[in-house]
A and B are shown apart, each in its own frame.
Chain A
Amino acid sequence: MANGTTTVNEKSFYQQSTNKYSGILSWLLTTDHKRIGIMYGVTILFFFLVGVILGVLMRLELMAPGKTIVDAQTYNSLFTLHGVIMIFLFIIPGLPAIFGNFFLPIQIGARDVAFPRLNLLSYYIYVAGALLALLAVILPGGAIDTGWTFYIPYSIRSNTNVSLPLLAAFVLGFSSILTGLNFITTVHRMRAPGMTFFKMPLFVWATYATAWIQIIATPVIGITIVLVILERLFGVGIFDPALGGDPILFQHLFWIYSHPAVYIMILPAMGVVSEIIPTFARRTIFGYKAIAISSLAIAFVGYLVWAHHMFTSGMSDTARWIFSLLTFIVALPSGVKIFNWVATMYKGSIDPKPPFLWVMSFIFLFSIGGLTGLVLGSLATDIHVHDTYFVVAHFHFVMFGGTGTIFFAAIHYWFPKMFGRLYNDKLATLGVLGFFIGFMLLYFPKFIMGYMGMPRRYYDYLPEFASLQLISTIGSWVLAATIFFIVGYLIHALFKGPKAGSNPWGGVTLEWHIQSPPTMENFKEIPKITHEPYDFSQLKEMKNEYS
């Protein structure tokens, strides 16, 4: 240790309260972005595991043709709840709410977000939304069975509890909006001196772009949901075809949000990848500005392509070819990212630690998801595979193989910083491997089944699909077991893991300059930023200061 001013031994944010309470209330009423991030983490992980269990049950039902464990109506509710929980409760808030909250302020050298109390409020709005969604399952009438897309006219005819989950989605959207609003203001107003926009880490860039989508797209689903609820309650007629309403207009409004929402899910993940690759390749990121700008480009292009979800809905032909054409534009900024990541690794001294392995797994799975997206984006081929397992496989590769994988990568990358403990590298490597094998077993057969014509959301299927369905179900066991295994060793590490230093991976962004876990104020003094974000020449001086 070169000098005595190190902060390593100061009280961490776990030991200090932002309010006058101690114990549980010091958490529930906290305005600290790190504590709120952890609270989101616990809640979101819980719902993720619920979603996983629902998914395993679905696969169990589909293990063999005919009825296996549940009846058809329950199966409809299972896939709807699986979708609603995974999308609205896990994958949309997952990365921004947990890691955005925890690391965005630190990475720009701030003590907190711009509106700390609003931040806590968004957490409780999230919880309220989640409870509403669960309430709808318990109440008489039965769990929602429309599929997570709530398509009209079935969603206004179904006798199950549809309004309540819709209201839940509305409330969750509100939480998402407030988080986005907070992050944008934070990035504009709270950057440390010297932290220009082009010195911000790429995770911040990605979260910033995401926040814009959260703000501009979410209100559209909000109003759409309100209209469906009003339609169910009062028969207003806006979407009801019997009264002149147009179900396809509903689909437009739904996808005007839900397509950009795909980028709410994937952009922060891409940001995490841009953090992990330089750290473990020990090289500055290749094409920093291109990656930063491509995040904004993806956010914007995301608004131009929504109707590619509706090629078989009965839109005009003109709209169909225009949206098909526009869809291919998305490949450009995504391609920019992939090429720059690969170029960053080229001639790097790669250290294949678990977070890096997760990222490798991501690049592989996400590329398959992306390339099969081209099949779906092309008008002619889409009509063949639309609403089949091919689509299911595609979006699980993109969302779960993409964002889901990076969710685990982010946990493994930032775990030492957030909790000050190290996990076992060997177990973690085993975790990546098990996840990858389970994932491929579970979802790859769906591409084949979809291509053969197996429709999505069906309760039963023809005997020729039996063997592939069985493989897929076995994959679900491997995957689910691995996920619980990962959660298991992480919880073990939380209590029994060896203490982590301030910089176990040799990262250079600001979070690695401060102690693990950070103090309540993050920085004793707000740092002055002089280095580029991924300038590894800092590492030497950092080692002197923080061993």
Chain B
Amino acid sequence: MNIHNESAAVHHHVHRDDIGAKMGMWLFLFTELLLFGGLFLVYAVYRYQHTEQFHLAAMELNTGIGTLNTVILLTSSLTVALSIAALQKGNKFLSILMLSLTLVFAFMFMINKYFEWSAKFSHGIYPGSDELLSLPNGQILFFGLYYVMTGLHGLHVLIGIIILSTILVMIIKNKITFDNYAKLENSGLYWHLVDLIWIFLFPLFYLIQ
């Protein structure tokens, strides 16, 4: 009879299943999809009810900064994909380089966002401000949604920065290697999702004049 000792029991949970891990990640991404989906539904309803006011309010937004941030995020999506491809090919240096670039782009995105938001604030447009409350309801809703949706997206970028930095350290320390890169791949998936959300936020807020 096979005698099970304590140490066997300790290790029995550890079993590697990369496909399972990726499945878990995708399922998590669906929850994100539905989370933002709820916001897009709110947006759709209010834009339907206040079409004109939404157009007027969107004039305030800076299409230039929006476009720049779109390009930045798309490029960061490329670099993270390249980082995975590089590691798969065993090119650790290139992988680290590409992941670091991704982080640089992520910071650039947040810096732009900071300037964009502070410009709005200095114009007195922020939730609950007198300036905003003097506007018609449709415009209050537009800016409310603008702050909530880009804010929540920005929060995801910040979380992405934390995750990707951790992954970067793990690659450097050889915790993630060319034959064990599920964590990098899953973080990449998360980062692409952040990009995907922006792909829709961009035309819905910056391009409706």
Residues on A lying within 8 angstroms of B by beta carbon are 4-5, 10-11, 16-20, 31-32, 111-112, 114-116, 118, 177, 180-182, 184-185, 188-190, 215-220, 222-224, 226-227, 230, 234-238, 243-246, 249, 253, 256, 519-521, 524
Contact = CB atoms under 8 A, between A and B. Distances in A.
The DSSP consensus for interface residues of chain B is helix
Contacts of A31: 13
Contact of A216 (B19, B34, B148): B34
Given A216-B34, A227-B148, A243 B141 contact: yes
B17 A234 contact: no
Given A114-B17, A237-B127, A521-B4, A230 B148 contact: yes
B50 A177 contact: no
Contacts of A19: 10
Interface stretch (B132-140, B190-198, B201-209): B132-140
Nearest to B36: A223
A185 B10 contact: no
A138 to B, nearest CB: 29
Contact of B4 (A10, A118, A223): A10
Contacts of A180: 27
B41 A253 contact: yes
22 contacts: A18-B12, A116-B13, A181-B24, A181-B27, A182-B24, A184-B23, A215-B27, A219-B33, A220-B34, A220-B35, A220-B37, A222-B38, A230-B127, A235-B128, A236-B128, A236-B147, A238-B144, A243-B137, A244-B136, A249-B42, A253-B38, A256-B38
Contacts of A243: 133, 137, 140-141, 144
B50 A246 contact: no
B185 to A, nearest CB: 16
Interface of B: 1-2, 4, 6, 9-10, 12-13, 17, 19-20, 23-24, 27-28, 30-39, 41-42, 45-46, 49-50, 127-128, 133, 136-138, 140-141, 144-145, 147-148, 152
A5 B9 contact: no
Contact of A188 (B4, B23, B37, B138): B23
Contacts of B140: 237, 243-244
B10 A244 contact: no
Contacts of B138: 244
Contacts of B127: 230, 234-237
A238 B136 CA distance: 13
A224 B6 contact: no
Contact of A185 (B4, B27, B33): B27
Nearest to A114: B20
B34 A18 contact: no
| CB-CB nearest 6 A-B residue pairs | A244-B137, A219-B35, A219-B34, A223-B38, A189-B20, A236-B144
A118 B1 CA distance: 33
Nearest to B147: A236
A221 B145 CA distance: 17
A112 B13 contact: yes
A181 B20 CA distance: 11
Contact of B42 (A112, A177, A217, A227): A227
B12 A520 contact: yes
A223 B31 contact: no
A19 B34 CA distance: 36
A408 B50 CA distance: 51
A341 B177 CA distance: 53
A89 B141 CA distance: 34
A238 B38 CA distance: 13
A104 B49 CA distance: 47
A489 to B, nearest CB: 33
